[in-house]
Structure 1
Amino acid sequence: MMNPLDVLSLAGTIIQFVDFSSKVLAGTNELYKSGAEALAVHQQLGLVVDDLAKMSKRLSDSYWGLSGTGVISTLSDDAFMFICRDASELSIELNNKLSSLKVTASGKRRKWETVKQALKSVWTEKDLTALTNRLTLLRDSIQMHIVVDLRDQLDSISSNQEVRFDHLDYSTRTIITALLTHQGEVSKGIQDQTMAITQLLGRMEILAEKHAFPSGIVQQVDNIEVNQNKSLILAGEKTSQNQVLNNSEWHEKALRLQITQYLVQNLKFPALKEREEIIADVYRGTFEWLFNDSHESTPWPSFTRWLEHGSNIYWINGKAASGKSTLMRFICDHSKTKEFLENWSAPLPIVIAKFYFWNSGTLVQRSLSGLLRALLSQILEHCPDLLPVCFPQRWAKIYTDSVRPFSEVNQKFHSMEMEYWSLTELQAAMRSLVSQSPQHFKLCLFVDGLDEYEGEPSAITKYFSVLAQVPWLKICVSSRPLLVFDDVFGSGPSLRLQDLTSTDINHYVKSSLQENVNYQHLCVEQPIEALTLIRNIVSRADGVFLWVRLVLQEIVRGLDNRDSLRDLQERMEIVPQDLEELFSSMLEKIEPFYRKKAASIFLIVRAANVHQRSVKSLDTLMLSFALDHGTSRFTDIKFKFQGLELRNKEINDHLKVRCAGLLETVPKYSPGFEYLGHRVTYLHRSVREYLERPDIHQRFAEHSNGRGFEPHTALMSSYIKELQISEPRKNILNQPSSLPLFLATVLHYAHDADIAGSNAYVEPLDKFATLTHSARCKSIIWAPAKFSSFLHIATKWDLCAYVRVLLERLTSETKGIVAHTLLAYALAGTDEYYVHGMEQMDNSDYRRDRFPPSNRMIELLLQYGAQPNKKLKDFPALREWTAFEIAVRNVCAILPPVDTEESENRQYSEEEKSLVSNHLAIVKLMLDNGADANTTLTHQGRTITSRKLLTETMGKYWRSQEWKVDEMFRMKGGKLEPSMIKKWIMTRGKYWVGKY
């Protein structure tokens, strides 16, 4: 059996030869460049011949080297040698022909205008086609051999070929080991990973023979930071040399560096640092006690001792608004944190990564996948060699696509469409990284706001508990003191923040007031009373920084009014200590004239936060458009740069005056649609929890009803307006990766408006359908093959008002036909569409809302002529069934097959029961509209009436519904099967007596 490394190396050379030759035969005019200039055709042909001669010699030498080893060959080896011989012969044939085109120093030269023209002087078009087909066959053969015949031998490379393996550099060994390790885990990527190994070995073989650049340049590339732009370096290299390999170690290192940069940048998401950036800066002199503690002198477990000697998890907890996030940012930014951790990690380096969950942020900012993307991107920036270990399939695919000759690396990266990061892939990457960590570094993670995580608290606590079990990793987390966190983290080192910050609050209050000139005068006149005011504020704060911040605003207003210290004390005392009471009093202080407008703002912010799947967070410009919806200003505005700037300033001022300071604006950190806008957000999470209470929301709705205001329609319209004014390069319609989410967001708002009973959204949605038609046709998710019109999409999204308006535009003859076609989409709900679209995105970030089939929509379509007993021939997947049969099957599809025993001990949730009830209601709706109660269908290999199927199913899973379903069919003429008659007679009376 041949040495697998030798085979892979030669296979890599063959693939490079095939790619090189294919490009040459295609007649590409700019095969080589000198700097930015394309070389003349005769110069390029000369270089082609030189490169091909080198490649041909290498193929020949390798072939005869392998064939002369004397090793007993297998059938697989024989097949491979046949491929090698064919490649060697083809290379000689091409080289001989092309040599006749080469211009010697003393010879005459012919001036060809194109490479294609030169090639046709020695080959006919038919010959060129035949040669291209031979190259394609050669590539297919070598790939098949590597992936199928050689795959089983790959495991032995690193263990059994140690001498040959050790000749490779450390980075290459790491990459190959990673790709080999994951061969059996990712079947989809086996070919990419195997081909990447092949390409690596082939390139390394040649690089071992010649070093085109001095070691100083190589070292220079090694020292380049990953987050710097490499395009200038690549642009400075003259590429008019061996294009088969870009044959320098410098190129290889630069390429790997670019792949690392590309993947790390794609791991990051636009709002990655948004939460961290808007956390209040630590007031000078506060929180320093944390680094001045010692295990003996503090009533809490020493934090510095944990940093320097501890393990597992340190839990910082505190009640709402006590400053946990501010403290976490203080810890992450403090130089002593790294100093103590370096003592712990020595002699290995320490790597620190952080993440801030944010309940008011977009869904990725409060999801597990967002956490993992943030942590992995930070860690891999420090340890780029581990990127192929964490993401072998992605790295292999990009590498194999990037080493093809005659193509600018930068152009390749710009043209790549990155697949979305699945939660499964991210979790596997983190496991791989942690397993590699002890060989490279120790790791400390800081994660703020576990109580703001989108999923179940128990899930995130379990994840961190398992992660922190390894001795080379530890985690500092913060959260409110919920029981679920206390149960898991309470027995370990922790501190309760509100018990430890009285000195910090005293310092903050004193320093803040002393900055006010009027307070300084009062201190001179009444120093004791001035200090008493500070003490009273600190005492009433009870460790809650937010309360202090709001009280200080009230005190400063009093100082500006020249209040006395007694007046200031009274101001402080009338401020409720309870945060919710405080928020309520702040709302009451809004001027009556502004209350309706303030209610509209609060409703818009709440609606925007409900759908955090949106492609962008609510910003000042978007809020401005939403508030102007339905006014002449919305339709007539001239959108110029100065106008947008004024709008943003206007909204900032409105929020200060009209919303009692409960909303604020913060700088945006996401790309696209930026203009000069700021993000609109709640002052604090506790503010959001209060303002989104049902009773408070109802109060806002009552205030705004006089204006005929509907927030979801307003938000949808603001999205559409931004489509109309955005620059082409920033327009979401030109961003395929964001388009599905953008469309889904608009449809969410339309659906909520429809549910609220509003039809005001119909006109702007119609405009949206027109604006997005071209983009939807180009999208694989929204293409006409999937939805032949926007009307089908609207039907699936339960937009009854919109569908009614569009049906009314049709002639009486076509209404029934169209309504019946739409019935198939209505019966499917949004499951098929929405899951399909979101799975292409991050299926952990964007939860897949599954609207069940809508009774409202189905009733509407039946009113317009849809026929329950008619087959749905226009819907390929359902063309063999009638609408009524699908409705019956939908009930059974929710539950396990009738012949299983799963139901015996199963307790169905209220959500599951609600879903079944919804489908049963649709069955009844169709029976009331003429569905045949004696319909028979084939189910699980038997022919059965719909009445018997549903009663059997309910009898097995939900007995209280069994005879209600049976009665529903009986009332519409459904007949009993003979096998059911006896059971019906024996139990019917007993059932009805017992239940009624």
Structure 2
Amino acid sequence: MDGWSALGAAAAIAQFIDFGIRLVSTTVKNHKTPREVSELQGHKLIVERLQALVGRLTDESSSTGLGTAENDLAIKAICDECKRTGGEMLAVVERIYGDRSTGVVTQLKGHGNRRKWKSFRQALLQVWNEDKVVELSNRLHILRQDLTVHLLAALSTQADQRAQEAGQMHLIGQEFLQTLAEPEKWQEYLINALQQKGVEKRLPPPDMERGGATHHYEDSIISVMKSLQYPGVMDRETTISQAHEDTLKWIFRDPEPQGFQWASLVDWLESNTSPNLYWVTGKAGSGKSTLIKYIHRHELTMRALGKWSPSQPVVTPVFYFWNSGRPMQMSLLGLLQTLLLGVLRAKPEYIPLVSRSRWEAHRLFAMTMPPWTQEEVLEALIVAIRHCAQSSKLCLFIDGLDEFEGKPEDLIALVKSFLLPNVKVCAASRPWPVFRDAFGRDPGLILEHLNLPDISLYVTNHLNNNAGFLELKAHEPKHAESLAHEITLRSSGVFLWVSLVVHELLQGLSRGDRLSDMQRTLEELPSELERLFEVMITSLGLLARKRAAEMFRIVGAARGPLPLLVFGDADEENPKYALEFEPRVRSQDQRLSRCLGIERRLNSYCKGLLEVKMLWISKDCTEGKPIKVNDAQQMLSLLQDPEDIAGYVDGICNSRVEYLHRTVRDYLARPNVKTQLDEWSASAFHPDLSLASAFLISLKTIDPITVTRAGFWWPINRCLAYAARFEKGTASSPDSLLNELDRVACNLSLSRTGDNQTVWRSIAKVPKRNTVPPWPSTLAPIGNIEERSFLGLALQCNLYGYVQTTLQNRPLTELEITGWPLLLSAFTGYNTSGADIPMFEKQQPPASLLQMLLRNGADPRASSVANLTAWQFVLRECHCASGTNAASPGSLPYWVDVLLVFAEWSADSRQPIPIDAWAVIQRYWPDIAKVRRAKIRKCRPPGIIRWLSSLHQAGIS
């Protein structure tokens, strides 16, 4: 059949299946609208609708447009089966309602009793038994499942045909859905079918030649590529230090016979023989990441790989594990996603082959599917590697295997699975036994054995670039050379140690140290990294030690990268600074001046253990380049374009304050060191409160003219998250800060944007309305308004202390919002719908808080905009936590407590317990009695006695 004949038949089938499923499963309640009652309970309409649908199926089945292609025949077979099923249903209708031509008889044919049934299913049960009705319902569902797959194939074929005929692909899927009565449901069915394992084998092969030149084809490719990206995907690579001038060049030379033995990297890159893995190992801080970055970017690497693959291009994806970064940067999913993204950037034509479901979802429906799963992305990467074997080769670079968050054995197994004839892997890690056992027999090198000449060059250059050192060297050249040589030898190949020691010695020069003083300082500095960190910190004066301790704790408490400007606001000494700060937009000069002052303080107090890493991207750059903040004034004098100047200032303000190295983070996280930092800090200092205050200031400095949805919620989300962690850790609620957050966000939401809209309407993208909802309502999905209160938001963020304090001072009537009841907010997690927020787990509210909400007038029967009540939520959780259905068996006692609280409220307020609650109580009463028998026996207030009495009356012993 031609494209539209197949889709026409599919539309007829879909309409019939929808109506059939609705007939056999829907019960009409008294609260249904007249239209719904008429549609389902009006017997004449049922008959007429069913006759019309079966008639259309007959027309489509006998259509001359039907073809002989496999998918066309499958759709015709489904059409015939639906026609047969429709005939059965019409025969039953005749028995139930009598004359099909009128459909007005309301009694079973041949029966004297006149009655009406609440649903068609109930009427069916007068003719068929339950098994027969269930079989009909199952048959209709199976027909729908079969149809979705063949419908996808028909849509895909039609999209290819349109691309060939018109040179463009319309959203054929959306066009088809508009022919159905329930397009949203069928889009969901089709998208779900696309996600089923193996569905691509049932679809026609993608026609790359037809679609490749169309604009919509390109959009679909870009959509899949964007779905692989994640926040910070390039962070680690851009923050790894560039190789120092004239260093690491030895990596492309042959090993020297008289030196330490190592395998030639060039020979390995050029070789056509196995092994296909090269292992770079070395001590912590020896410069492994810098070496991998140097190799990956060097033109000599590509030249050598060209000899391995002279007739085919070589694709070189890279991934840097980073356990100081975001979760994705230390996970298998992050590794797989980044490698796949690297392959597809070089070979975008592979996308319809490796991710057929995502490509079809976008080109047919302009839909973006949920985030990738580890299984999905691994399968896609395997397919990509398989296709690469036909036209290209791969060399994967993977750094920091020891920074992987999971079991090293799992990572090793994955890396080894990549080692195919067309794939090489260059991996780097510390020399842990598990990696030595796995890769020790492969070609490779031990970095600290080979980098002493580079370290010598680094030391010499840094010392000779200091005017004070050159002056001393002019008087004592041999002593100066001896000092540089001793630094190199004591480094034991650890670049990190060298950089810290040279920094410390140059600091001494700025104080007027002599060469003898520098020599004495060097002798006093330990050779081990952790001992060096300890000496550097403890050598600070009391005031500097206090400031450094607080800075270390702020960075340690930060969730994810911490912008320099936010760090500076968190480092304010005045604990009321955020509350007293008047909302205003900071000028470009104010932001720059503040950041430069913060950077100077950080360098002065933290001895280089914390550093500012900046990423600035100009219009002429394709890649961000780290730039030292203290070079800012010089850089600004070179820039002419206002856009570049603004971008550079933004880059400074968004520079990340980070640990110098992972070893610094590990040292500062040791329990005894954390205790020491706590003791050195001011008594009133708490890093979570400081960070919450800093993000409150970020909110106060937002420009309403240009604010976006993400920009509005970014500081709010983080302020709430740090406030919640502060409250949980200290049992003290930051009430003043949260009240100020509510006030400022409310005022900002009512401000005017550049196009003279209110901020809340601009970011929520909703039609104009007479009433302005509370500002937390803008967190709902774009285009919708689910009215929520700030107190409800606080409940969702685990800020229970704040909620209790607020309820003590204000009546619930002033705080409750009808759209989303407070009780439901207490149980449900943060609705993040598109908001960029730090992760935190939902903590279930204590029973005492629920009792307070109930005492203040909260009603567990109140329904949300999603038609969910707190009663329903609790009953569902009881079901999930009970018996063999337990997802987390340990949670049952908690939900039993909540059930008791709700039931006691029902008894005390003389409100009936919902019928479905009785069903849950009766079903799980043995579990409830078992886990809370003692509590029930002790509880003897009038309410619980009445409740136990009603349990007995309901037949529950």
In the alignment, is the contact (CA less than 8 A) between 2:318 and 2:398 conserved in 1?
A: yes
Counterpart among 842, 848, 853 of residue 851 in structure 1: 842
Counterpart among 326, 330, 344 of residue 362 in structure 1: 326
1:698-717 aligned within 5 A: 698-706=675-683, 708-717=684-693
Relative to structure 1, the CA distance from residue 527 to residue 896 in structure 2 (aligned partners, 3 Å threshold; closer, same or farther) is farther
For residues 70 and 809 of structure 1, the distance between their equivalents in structure 2, rounded to whole angstroms, comes to 73
Relative to structure 1, the CA distance from residue 198 to residue 936 in structure 2 (aligned partners, 3 Å threshold; closer, same or farther) is closer
Where does residue 278 of structure 2 map in the other structure? 314
1:553-580 Cα offsets, whole Å, 9 max, x none, are 2222344455443332211011122222
1:112-131 aligned within 5 A: none
Q: Following TM superposition, by how much is the alpha carbon of 1:757 offset from its aligned partner in structure 2, in angstroms?
A: 3.1
Where does residue 635 of structure 1 map in the other structure? 582
* SS at structure 2 position matched to 1:510: helix
Relative to structure 1, the CA distance from residue 824 to residue 528 in structure 2 (aligned partners, 3 Å threshold; closer, same or farther) is same
1:468-867 aligned within 5 A: 468-520=418-470, 522-523=472-473, 525-561=475-511, 563-608=513-558, 611-612=559-560, 617-628=561-572, 630-631=576-577, 634-635=581-582, 639-668=586-615, 674=650, 676-677=652-653, 678-706=655-683, 708-727=684-703, 731-733=707-709, 744-755=717-728, 756-760=730-734, 761-767=737-743, 770=746, 771=748, 775=764, 776-780=776-780, 788-811=788-811, 822-826=822-826, 828=827, 832-834=828-830, 837=832, 849-855=840-846, 858-863=847-852, 865-866=854-855
Relative to structure 1, the CA distance from residue 730 to residue 580 in structure 2 (aligned partners, 3 Å threshold; closer, same or farther) is farther
Q: Following TM superposition, by how much is the alpha carbon of 1:448 offset from its aligned partner in structure 2, in angstroms?
A: 1.4
* SS at structure 2 position matched to 1:833: coil
Relative to structure 1, the CA distance from residue 268 to residue 729 in structure 2 (aligned partners, 3 Å threshold; closer, same or farther) is farther
Where does residue 94 of structure 2 map in the other structure? none
Q: Following TM superposition, by how much is the alpha carbon of 1:582 offset from its aligned partner in structure 2, in angstroms?
A: 1.8
Q: Following TM superposition, by how much is the alpha carbon of 1:931 offset from its aligned partner in structure 2, in angstroms?
A: 9.5
Where does residue 194 of structure 2 map in the other structure? 188
Relative to structure 1, the CA distance from residue 461 to residue 551 in structure 2 (aligned partners, 3 Å threshold; closer, same or farther) is same
AA matched with 2:448 = Q
Greater relative contact order structure (CA < 8 Å, 6+ sep): 1
Q: Following TM superposition, by how much is the alpha carbon of 1:647 offset from its aligned partner in structure 2, in angstroms?
A: 1.3
In the alignment, is the contact (CA less than 8 A) between 2:252 and 2:300 conserved in 1?
A: yes
Counterpart among 394, 402, 405 of residue 451 in structure 1: 402
* SS at structure 1 position matched to 2:280: strand
AA matched with 2:844 = P
Q: Following TM superposition, by how much is the alpha carbon of 1:293 offset from its aligned partner in structure 2, in angstroms?
A: 3.2
Q: Does 1:350 align with 2:314?
A: yes
1:365-407 Cα offsets, whole Å, 9 max, x none, are 33334333433333222212112223323333443468xxxxx
Where does residue 926 of structure 2 map in the other structure? 948
Where does residue 297 of structure 2 map in the other structure? 333
AA matched with 1:372 = L
AA matched with 1:790 = F
For residues 675 and 435 of structure 1, the distance between their equivalents in structure 2, rounded to whole angstroms, comes to 41
* SS at structure 1 position matched to 2:562: coil
Q: Following TM superposition, by how much is the alpha carbon of 1:203 offset from its aligned partner in structure 2, in angstroms?
A: 10
1:105-140 Cα offsets, whole Å, 9 max, x none, are xxxxxxxxxxxxxxxxxxxxxxxxxxxxxxxxxxxx
Relative to structure 1, the CA distance from residue 729 to residue 356 in structure 2 (aligned partners, 3 Å threshold; closer, same or farther) is farther
Relative to structure 1, the CA distance from residue 563 to residue 443 in structure 2 (aligned partners, 3 Å threshold; closer, same or farther) is same
1:174-194 Cα offsets, whole Å, 9 max, x none, are xxxxxxxxx999723699x99
For residues 371 and 537 of structure 2, the distance between their equivalents in structure 1, rounded to whole angstroms, comes to 43
For residues 458 and 949 of structure 1, the distance between their equivalents in structure 2, rounded to whole angstroms, comes to 41
Where does residue 293 of structure 1 map in the other structure? 254
AA matched with 2:842 = F
Relative to structure 1, the CA distance from residue 809 to residue 537 in structure 2 (aligned partners, 3 Å threshold; closer, same or farther) is same
Q: Following TM superposition, by how much is the alpha carbon of 1:733 offset from its aligned partner in structure 2, in angstroms?
A: 1.7
1:379-394 aligned within 5 A: 379-394=343-358
AA matched with 1:746 = C
| Structure 2 runs not aligned, ≥5 long | 11-62, 80-143, 170-188, 618-623, 625-646, 750-759, 765-775, 949-957
Relative to structure 1, the CA distance from residue 434 to residue 323 in structure 2 (aligned partners, 3 Å threshold; closer, same or farther) is same
* SS at structure 2 position matched to 1:314: strand
In the alignment, is the contact (CA less than 8 A) between 2:727 and 2:733 conserved in 1?
A: yes
AA matched with 2:927 = L
1:145-200 Cα offsets, whole Å, 9 max, x none, are 9966677899999xxx9xx9xx99xx99xxxxxxxxxx999723699x99x99999
AA matched with 1:579 = L
1:660-708 Cα offsets, whole Å, 9 max, x none, are 32211111369999464122111111112222333333443444444x3
In the alignment, is the contact (CA less than 8 A) between 2:7 and 2:151 conserved in 1?
A: no
In the alignment, is the contact (CA less than 8 A) between 1:9 and 1:201 conserved in 2?
A: no
AA matched with 1:860 = L
Relative to structure 1, the CA distance from residue 926 to residue 482 in structure 2 (aligned partners, 3 Å threshold; closer, same or farther) is farther
For residues 859 and 510 of structure 2, the distance between their equivalents in structure 1, rounded to whole angstroms, comes to 77
In the alignment, is the contact (CA less than 8 A) between 1:603 and 1:700 conserved in 2?
A: yes
AA matched with 1:287 = L
AA matched with 2:552 = F
TM-score (norm 2): 0.64
Relative to structure 1, the CA distance from residue 9 to residue 914 in structure 2 (aligned partners, 3 Å threshold; closer, same or farther) is closer
In the alignment, is the contact (CA less than 8 A) between 1:316 and 1:495 conserved in 2?
A: yes
Q: Following TM superposition, by how much is the alpha carbon of 1:581 offset from its aligned partner in structure 2, in angstroms?
A: 2.3
In the alignment, is the contact (CA less than 8 A) between 1:555 and 1:568 conserved in 2?
A: yes
Counterpart among 235, 251, 268 of residue 274 in structure 1: 235
For residues 565 and 586 of structure 2, the distance between their equivalents in structure 1, rounded to whole angstroms, comes to 12
Counterpart among 407, 426, 432 of residue 383 in structure 2: 432
For residues 445 and 874 of structure 1, the distance between their equivalents in structure 2, rounded to whole angstroms, comes to 54
AA matched with 1:791 = L
In the alignment, is the contact (CA less than 8 A) between 2:613 and 2:658 conserved in 1?
A: yes
AA matched with 2:261 = P
Relative to structure 1, the CA distance from residue 351 to residue 919 in structure 2 (aligned partners, 3 Å threshold; closer, same or farther) is same
Relative to structure 1, the CA distance from residue 948 to residue 537 in structure 2 (aligned partners, 3 Å threshold; closer, same or farther) is same
For residues 788 and 731 of structure 1, the distance between their equivalents in structure 2, rounded to whole angstroms, comes to 21
Relative to structure 1, the CA distance from residue 202 to residue 821 in structure 2 (aligned partners, 3 Å threshold; closer, same or farther) is closer
Q: Does 1:441 align with 2:414?
A: no
Q: Following TM superposition, by how much is the alpha carbon of 1:528 offset from its aligned partner in structure 2, in angstroms?
A: 4.3
Relative to structure 1, the CA distance from residue 810 to residue 472 in structure 2 (aligned partners, 3 Å threshold; closer, same or farther) is same
Q: Following TM superposition, by how much is the alpha carbon of 1:521 offset from its aligned partner in structure 2, in angstroms?
A: 5.3
For residues 947 and 469 of structure 1, the distance between their equivalents in structure 2, rounded to whole angstroms, comes to 57
Q: Following TM superposition, by how much is the alpha carbon of 1:850 offset from its aligned partner in structure 2, in angstroms?
A: 3.2
Where does residue 881 of structure 2 map in the other structure? 893
AA matched with 1:264 = M
For residues 69 and 585 of structure 1, the distance between their equivalents in structure 2, rounded to whole angstroms, comes to 82
AA matched with 1:693 = R
* SS at structure 1 position matched to 2:285: coil
For residues 455 and 931 of structure 1, the distance between their equivalents in structure 2, rounded to whole angstroms, comes to 50
In the alignment, is the contact (CA less than 8 A) between 1:947 and 1:969 conserved in 2?
A: no
Relative to structure 1, the CA distance from residue 917 to residue 604 in structure 2 (aligned partners, 3 Å threshold; closer, same or farther) is farther
* SS at structure 2 position matched to 1:759: coil
Q: Following TM superposition, by how much is the alpha carbon of 1:442 offset from its aligned partner in structure 2, in angstroms?
A: 0.6
For residues 256 and 869 of structure 1, the distance between their equivalents in structure 2, rounded to whole angstroms, comes to 53
For residues 841 and 430 of structure 1, the distance between their equivalents in structure 2, rounded to whole angstroms, comes to 29
In the alignment, is the contact (CA less than 8 A) between 1:8 and 1:146 conserved in 2?
A: no
Where does residue 252 of structure 1 map in the other structure? 213
AA matched with 1:758 = S
Where does residue 61 of structure 1 map in the other structure? none
Q: Following TM superposition, by how much is the alpha carbon of 1:542 offset from its aligned partner in structure 2, in angstroms?
A: 1.8
